[in-house]
Amino acid sequence: MNTEGRSTTSGGRRLTRRDFLRATAVGGSAAVFLAACAPAGAPTGGAAPTTAAGEAPVAGAPKQGGTMVWLGHQEVAGLSPDDAGPDVQAVMINNIHNPLVYYNEFNELELVLADSYEIAEDGLTYTFKLKEGVKFHDGSDFTSADVKYTWDYYRNPDNGAVRAGLFTGVSEIETPDDLTVVVKMATINAASLANWASFPIVQSTYHAEVGESTYRTAPIGTGAYKLKEWRAAEFTELEAFEDHFRGRPNIDIIRLEVVPEPSVRTIALQTGDADATVWPLLVEDSLSFAQDPNYVVLKALGNSIKHFPLNNSLPQLSDKRVRQAMMYGLDRERIVADLWQGAASVAHSNIPPSSFYYDPNLKQYPYDVEQAKALLDEAGWVPGSDGVRAKDGVRLSFTMTTITGDQARRPIAEFAQQQLKEIGVEIQLAEAPVASILEGLRNGTLESSIFNWTYNNGAIEPDPFSTLHSTGGNNFNQFKNAEMDRLIEEGLQVVDPEERRKYYDQIQAIFVEEVPCLYLQYDEWLNVFSARVKGLPVDPKASTVWFYRAHEWWLD
Amino acid sequence: MARYITVRLFHGAIVIILISLLTFIVLRLMPGDPVFLLLGEGQVRISEEQIQAIRTRWGLDKSYPEQYLIWAGNMFTGNFGESIIRTGVPVRDMILEAAPVTLQLNVYSMLLALALSVPLGIWAAVKRNTAVDYASSVISVVGIATPNFWLSLMLIILFSLMLGWLPPFGLRSWQGFIMPVIVLAIEQMAVFTRVMRSSTIEALKQDYVRTATAKGLSRNAVILGHAVRNSLLPLVTVIGFNIAFLLSGTIVVETIFALPGIGRLFTDSIFRLDYQVVQSLVVVLAVLVVAANLLTDLVYAVIDPRIRISR
């Protein structure tokens, strides 16, 4: 959910160039506290853990058995693939179900239920060959009929599925035989593999019989774990599925406990009542666990930008020079270092640095008060007697509405208020619940806020339609730029990545020049694990999806 | 008596209908659209048509009066509708699942608070203006003044982290109840002790106490047999008031100790604009408050024959 403001669809893939550099630099800071976490030969592919173990002599052979407790921050509201909730839901759903393909924690496309796939030259036909001998939890065989049923059900507008938008462009799904699925597209959708092809598959006859409402409470998938007990607000318990196609998982029971209070989650890890956090702790707590050899901290940079959305339709914010001046007027390095304990990286684009589409040569906004003042002078905003600039009777002042109770991000808003005062910009602070803020920004009645949101579609997919297109559903900035609209629309029609890159280079250039919002930083996403958990990935690039690999872990 | 109860029930019904109407309106006035919360973020592209389909699925496309009548009508048959967020789960099941947790917390903590505060209050009254009395005052003031969340965290740090005696969260075993119940009891105990002390002091001044002492009864017999019986009445008022809130008032404790009770269901649902859950819970709580008030008034008459219900 967006309370904490970050992408959750299709698992949230994150990586950065900085992480990549760290990974390659021997003895880099990231490598230091990750060194103990996993054997050098830890399985990263789809191979069964028992066979991969031979390659990992350091940590010993995987052991069977045990219960692993995960900590989440809010209830697991439902377990259908359509439950586009926060990570706590996604990690449960994806351990119960499998998709055909998905982008794993190294941002590599991994085949799961698919044995192979082929995309036609024109980008309008996708052919998937399915793995043989895959069983559902009820013992039935997995076939192409399940794939067709799942995709058809969730893309059908009559069923009111929340994630129907993932299936944009799909026109028809054919099943020539039990192990082949052919998808015909009406329009090209360059994001297909990251979107609909990563959608978890349900057991078709069972789902058709019980319906979506019941299915959410009692799912049947092909995943390594099957649902044992579900008490939404309390815990969700999964048990090993003996006949899983990648082999029986090592850990017998996985239990996700819902613990809303972050300090209690920290204590539960310290007392040994829990083995991992799915939802991050307070940054300072995670960083102190990173110093402790009894814990392993996995981290990766998020795709969502921590930013101040700005209502571009306001007279005082409509001039791009004003917005640029505010970028110069903010010491973003200091926000990262002092207010975020260094667990973030200053943003220079709407696309995360590690993405294939990231352009490293974009215009940047270093902290430069003089430059900021010069821009405002040039734009005709003159300081008034109270120090606040004004032009044509309009004061350069706006209200920033932070999320009620958002202790973590509120200090950044206060810091910005102080800093921008220096250049003659006045910010008033207010608070409101997250639902009102999102609605107010969408319909243009709010002026500004602070939260994390993706201005891309993950590290894999660069499309920013939802946030930067003038008709996008999340156009928080009321940003209307015809050139941007055209580039976004055309970018989605191109399949070849090299060809596509040109469109996103231009999109990024417009983004940094126009400054639709004040973009601050990409946050690091930290998950703490007890050191008794073995088989964890080494230096992953994308957060949260590492939990989809729980079947390869074991407890020491 | 029968007439009195009938009139009170009629008043109660009107109050509940007004509350349900008001809750319904206030919830709709709250800015924000549950569909967008449902969508989460990062949705690639969702068309107006798809949003409309979701609205239809949850009956949000109907007019407000229509939505209210459907909901109110269903309430009478015990059908509270379905949660939007916990998609498709009946709201009644959610309430029934959460209620026992909060109910147990409140009952246990009230019993614990009474068990401690009644003797302490009496003792403080009898030993008025002595060290015992002052100590009980200090305990009460500290009890009222200590914030719930702070005390909870301190207990967790002490008993879970440092001593390792109790689980830091959850209700997996009965031990899970210990810390939350202590926190809630300390808060209530403070009030109970003060009430018990002052009403006992009042009772000790009465003529019948002097008479009882004069006729040679032991001090204990006078206090317990004569004074305390009468000094319990104000406490019943306070307890009655507490019973009305047996299903609420534990939000902080439920959040910190990760207990899946009514308080958390309520706050979570408000933040997620889960209309059906919030409005149904409000009505259920309103019914409880109305019923508890009526019950308290009736219990007065039973405990103290001097109170007669008029009209």
Domain CATH for B258: 1.10.3720.10
**Using CA atoms, how far apart are residues B46 and A162, in angstroms rounded to an integer?**
9
pLDDT at B309: 57
Partner B contacted by A235 (CB < 8 A): yes
Give the pLDDT band of residue B46 (cuts 50, 70, 90).
Answer: low
* A545 and A404 within one domain: no
Distance CA A153, CA A149 (A): 6
Tell me if chain A has a CB within 8 Å of the CB of B108.
no
- Whole-angstrom Cα distance, residue B68 to residue A440? 25
Token digits of residue A101: 């393909």
| Same domain, yes or no: A539 and A439 | no
A219, containing H or E segment = none
Quick check: B49 and A191 CB within 8 A?
A: no
CB contact under 8 A, B86 and A77: yes
Which tens digits make up the pLDDT trace of A373-391? 999 999 999 999 899 999 9
In a domain, B49, yes or no: no
**To the nearest whole number, what is the mean pLDDT of chain B?**
84
Higher pLDDT, A148 or B97: A148
Residue of B nearest to A267 (CA): B161
Cα-flanking dihedrals φ and ψ of residue A403, to 5°? -70, 130
For residues A189 and A52, membership in a common domain is answered with yes
Partner B, chain A 238-257, Cβ-Cβ below 8 Å: 257
Claim to verify: residue A499 and residue A535 sit in the same structural domain: no
pLDDT at residue number A55: 42
A479 shares its domain with A542: no
Q: Nearest-CA distance from B86 to chain A in Å?
A: 4
**What is the chain B residue with the closest CA to A464?**
B44
Of A10, A435, A463, the CB nearest to B273: A435
Question: What tokens were used for A157?
Answer: 């507008």
pLDDT of residue A440: 87
Is A270 touching B (CB cutoff 8 A)?
A: yes
Average pLDDT value over all residues in chain A: 86
For the residues B196-203, what does the mean pLDDT come to? 89
Length of chain B: 311
Query: Residue A464 — φ and ψ, nearest 5°?
Result: -105, 30
d(CA B264, CA A15): 35
**Token pair belonging to A282:** 């307070």
Query: What would the DSSP string read from start to end of A470-523?
Result: TT-TT-TT----HHHHHHHHHHTT---HHHHHHHHHHHHHHHHHH-SEEEEEEE
Mutate to test the interface with A, among B29, B41, B154, B171 (most CBs of A within 10 A): B41
Per-residue CA distances from A30 to A293, A297, A360, A544, B219 (Å): 14, 10, 22, 17, 75
The beta-carbon neighbor of B87 closest among A78, A86, A271 is A78
In a domain, A346, yes or no: yes
Q: Cβ–Cβ of B38/A162 closer than 8 Å? A: yes
Helices (H), chain B: 2-29, 34-39, 48-57, 64-76, 91-126, 131-145, 148-155, 175-204, 207-214, 219-220, 228-244, 251-256, 262-271, 275-303
Mutation site, A92, A198, A214, A261, interface B, largest B CB count within 10 A: A261
Structure confidence at residue A335 as a pLDDT band (50, 70, 90):
very high
Tracing tokens 């007890």 back to the chain, one arrives at A530
Q: Does B21 touch chain A (CB under 8 A)?
A: no
Mean local confidence (pLDDT), A401-413: 89
On whether residue B130 sits in a domain, the answer given is yes
- Cβ distance B161 to A267 less than 8 Å, yes or no, reads yes
In this predicted structure, the answer to whether residue A485 has a pLDDT above a threshold of 90 is yes
Specify the CATH number for the domain of residue A193: 3.90.76.10
- Angstroms from B143 CA to nearest CA on chain A: 23
Give the pLDDT band of residue B37 (cuts 50, 70, 90): low
pLDDT at A243: 96
Q: Which domain holds residue B122?
A: 100-235+246-262+289-303
Nearest beta carbon to residue B50 from set A7, A85, A165: A165
**Angstrom distance (rounded) from CA A360 to CA B246:** 60
A341/A421 same-domain check: yes
Q: pLDDT, tens digit, for every residue of A120-165?
A: 988 899 999 999 999 999 999 999 999 999 999 999 988 888 888 8
pLDDT tens digit sequence for A433-461: 877 888 889 889 999 999 988 888 777 78
One domain, residues A186 and A325 = no
**Residue in B36, B38, B170 nearest the CB of A439:** B36
| Percent residues over pLDDT 90 in chain A | 63
CA-nearest of A115, A129, A98 to A241 is A98
- CB of B82 less than 8 A from some CB of A: yes
Do B244 and B293 contact (CB within 8 A), yes or no? yes
Closest-CA distance, A258 to chain B, in angstroms, reads 7
B247 falls in which pLDDT band (50, 70, 90)? low
Instruction: Please judge whether A3 and B271 are an interchain contact, meaning their C-beta atoms are less than 8 angstroms apart.
Output: yes
Longest dimension (CA), chain A: 78
As a dihedral over the C-alpha atoms of residue A71, residue A75, residue A79, residue A83, rounded to 10 degrees, the angle is -110
Q: How do A253-258 and A67-72 pair as beta strands?
A: parallel
Rg (CA), chain A: 24
Question: A160–B167: do the CB atoms touch at under 8 Å?
Answer: no
Kindly state whether residues A461 and A543 are assigned to the same domain. no
| C-alpha R_g of chain B | 25
pLDDT at A59 over 70: no
Query: Looking at the 3D structure of chain A, how many domains does it have?
Result: 2
State whether A540 and A493 are in the same domain. Answer: no
In angstroms, rounded to a whole number, what is the distance separating the alpha carbons of residues B85 and B274? 6
- The encoded tokens of residue A416 equal 């910005």
A84: number of Cβ within 10 Å? 24
Residues in chain A with CB shorter than 8 Å from the CB of B56 are 160
Contact call for residues A251 and A532 (beta carbons, < 8 A): no
Q: What is the pLDDT of residues B221-243, one digit of tens each?
A: 888 877 887 888 888 888 877 77
What residues contact residue A18 under an 8 Å CB cut-off, 6+ apart? A301, A345, A353, A354
Q: Which of A78, A157, A273 sits opposite B86 (nearest CB)?
A: A78
Contact A286, A297 (CB under 8 A): yes
Q: Hey, are the CB atoms on A160 and B31 less than 8 Å from each other?
A: no
Asked if the structure places residue B190 within a domain, the reply is yes
Nearest to A88 by CA among B107, B40, B250, B239: B40
In a domain, A95, yes or no: yes
**The pLDDT of residue A17 is above 70:** no
Helix then strand then coil, in percent of chain A rounded to 5, is 30, 25, 45
Query: Above 60 in pLDDT, residue A47?
Result: no
Q: Which of A1, A231, A273 sits opposite B260 (nearest CB)?
A: A231
d(CA A516, CA B32): 23
Identify the pLDDT of residue A37: 34
Confidence check: pLDDT of A30 > 70: no
Chain A partners of B158 at a C-beta cutoff of 8 Å? Answer: none
Q: Does A389 touch chain B (CB under 8 A)?
A: no
Tell me the count of A-B CB pairs closer than 8 A: 187
Domain that holds residue A388: 302-524
Question: Do A160 and B56 make contact, defined as CB atoms within 8 angstroms?
Answer: yes
- Residue B283 in any domain: the answer is no
Chain A positions touching B271 (Cβ under 8 A) are: 3, 433-435
Question: Model confidence at A267, in pLDDT bands (50, 70, 90)?
Answer: very high
Query: How far, in Å, CA of A132 to CA of A129, rounded?
Result: 9
Q: What is the pLDDT of residue A9?
A: 34
Percentage of chain A modeled with pLDDT above 70: 89
Q: What chain B residue is nearest to A77 in terms of C-alpha separation?
A: B86
Q: How many domains does chain B have?
A: 1
Residues A519 and A411 in one domain: yes
A243: in domain: no
Assess contact for B275 and A249: CB atoms under 8 A: no
A-contacting residues in B 153-212 (Cβ below 8 Å)? 153, 156-157, 160-161, 164, 167-171
Q: Of A38-42, A217-221, B46-50, which gets the smallest average pLDDT?
A: A38-42
Q: Which stretch, A71-85, B21-35, B146-160, has highest mean pLDDT?
A: B146-160
Of residues A208 and B79, the one with the higher pLDDT is: A208
**Residue B293: pLDDT over 90:** no
Token code pair at residue B19: 């509350």
- In a domain, residue A418? The reply is yes
Question: Which of A37-41, A503-507, B117-121, B212-216 is most confident?
Answer: A503-507
Residue B43's alpha-carbon distances to A82, B50, B141, in angstroms, are 12, 12, 52
Nearest one of B279, B296, B195 to B244, comparing CA atoms: B296
Domain co-membership, A446 together with A546: no
B54: nearest CB among A160, A258, A473: A160
Q: How confident is the model at residue B86, as a pLDDT?
A: 77
Question: Is there a single domain that holds both residue A209 and residue A312?
Answer: no
Query: Nearest-CA neighbor of A11 among A74, A77, A85, A76?
Result: A85
Residue B29: inside a domain, yes or no? Answer: no
Using the Cβ of B49 and the Cβ atoms of chain A, whether some distance falls under 8 Å is answered with yes
Cβ <8 Å between A473 and B42: no
Predicted pLDDT at A14: 38
Residue A166 has pLDDT above 70, yes or no: yes
Question: Cβ of B218 under 8 Å from any chain A Cβ?
Answer: no
Q: How far is CA B260 from CA A73, B169, B245, in A?
A: 12, 11, 17
The answer to whether position B17 is within a domain reads no
- Tell whether B85 is covered by a domain: no
d(CA A514, CA A368): 18
